[in-house]
Amino acid sequence: MIHLHSIARRDGEAPHRFPFTVPVVRELARLSFTTPVTFFVGENGSGKSTVLEAIAAAAALPTVGARDTRRDPTLAAQRELADALRLSWERKATRGFFLRAEDFFGFTRSLAKMRAELLAELDDVAVSYAGASPKARELREGPIRASLGEMERRYGTDLDANSHGQSFLTLFRARFVPGGLYLLDEPEAPLSPQSQLGLMAMMKDMVAQDAQFIIATHSPILLAFPGATIYSFDQSPVAAVSYDSLEHVNLTRDFLAAPDRFLRHL
């Protein structure tokens, strides 16, 4: 299902400051989403992550990270762009999330802190209710143990005990739900090629259950997702391109076919 149909710049003169000075942002008029999976691809600094972050702020999606999009100081410029965007919905998404790969460590720290606080509460109850009846103690501990159990069911007892890539996949398994809108910025960063295929399998399952994905990526593996729309931010205005025309794809193919041809020039 296509929840978010398009974004468009509102009328009015754009300020002469970042991110409106980025060429693709300056010339952005309208961007349509016609398939359940859409990729933003382009070189670093092309504006793909900036536009994705602005969509996340405009859509007010929950953030997997230390702070949400409306409070994160690193997204102040993107919030200004978000205010200049008009989002067109088939049905406003109330499920889903926004994830930047670099924010994941903040998320794991938040989970660790919450778990430690819940365990500390249980210790306090043990002391405070030492002379109380077992029933009274059970009633007091119940909500705490329920919260702790739900957290451990979804994420395990320690995400940091896994590799970064394993933790990412654990997060996706826990947080992907049918009918969600997922905005992912370079989710391939910690993932091995095998794990990227695992992420694609999860995406396929979610798309079959009315989920929508908009992903900024450099990964030739993810970009091969069947039926996806690929927008190139290496040209202005942004335009849809084919998988086989992407420099990311062709350079990777050429390198893997003959690495010595590239390495001898280093």
- Provide the residue ranges of all domains of the chain, joining segments of one domain with +: 4-105+179-263, 106-159
Element (H, E) at 246: none
Which string of DSSP letters, residue by residue, matches 190-243? Answer: T--HHHHHHHHHHHHHHHTTT-EEEEE---TTGGG-TT-EEEESSSSS-EEE-G
The number of residues making up the chain comes to 266
pLDDT of residue 163 exceeding 60, the answer is no
Confidence band of 124 (pLDDT split at 50, 70, 90): confident
The predicted pLDDT at position 153 comes to: 63
Given this model, what pLDDT does residue 25 score? Answer: 93
Q: Please tell me the predicted confidence (pLDDT) of residue 35.
A: 98
Contact yes or no for 165/173 (Cβ under 8 A): no
Residue 97 confidence class, pLDDT cut points 50, 70, 90: very high
Residues 72, 22: Cα–Cα separation, whole Å = 21
Residue 176: pLDDT band by 50, 70, 90 thresholds? Answer: very high
CATH of 4-105+179-263, one of 3.40.1130, 3.30.70, 1.10.3470, 3.40.50: 3.40.50
Banded model confidence at residue 158, pLDDT cuts 50, 70, 90 = low
The continuous run of DSSP H or E covering 255 comes out as helix 247-257
Amino acid, res. 66: A
The backbone region for 238, taken as left when phi is positive above 0, alpha when psi lies in -120 to 50, beta otherwise, is: beta
Ranking 64-78, 133-147, 157-171 by mean pLDDT, the lowest is 157-171
- Copy the structure tokens of residue 111: 């989970």
